[in-house]
Amino acid sequence: DAGITQSPRHKVTETGTPVTLRCHQTENHRYMYWYRQDPGHGLRLIHYSYGVKDTDKGEVSDGYSVSRSKTEDFLLTLESATSSQTSVYFCAIRPLGGDSPLHFGNGTRLTVT
């Protein structure tokens, strides 16, 4: 897992409630990513970060916000969860510069009822 911990691993929440997912890395890598994975869609990038307080939007960022106040933590927040946000969420880090392969956490399965 290259020192990546995602929490919680599973969560069930109700529509309209706020939800925060946490990604923690132990190796102080600069680049961190949040993806969601849905059947038939592959992985889609939500947000990514290239340093403390430096973040940018991915292709499916609507309804999500992120924060990175420390190198090791990258938080994904659903301000008001909707059923369309039911998904498996993966955090990834890029250990080396350039286009080196990503290392992934084990994911968080989120169900919005």
85 — phi, psi (to 5°)? -95, 5
Q: Which of 27, 2, 4, 25 has its CA nearest to residue 107?
A: 4
In whole angstroms, the minimum distance from the beta carbon of 15 to another protein comes to 25
Q: Which is nearer to another protein, 41 or 70 (CB)?
A: 41
In the 8-state DSSP scheme, what is residue 34?
E
Q: Which is nearer to another protein, 39 or 80 (CB)?
A: 39
Q: Six-digit token pair at 87?
A: 């998904």
In whole angstroms, the minimum distance from the beta carbon of 106 to another protein comes to 5
Q: Binding to another protein by residue 1, rule CB under 8 A?
A: yes
Q: How far apart are CA 68 and CA 112, in angstroms?
A: 24
Give the residues lining the site for another protein (CB under 8 A).
1, 4, 31, 39-45, 48, 50, 58, 90, 92, 94, 99-107
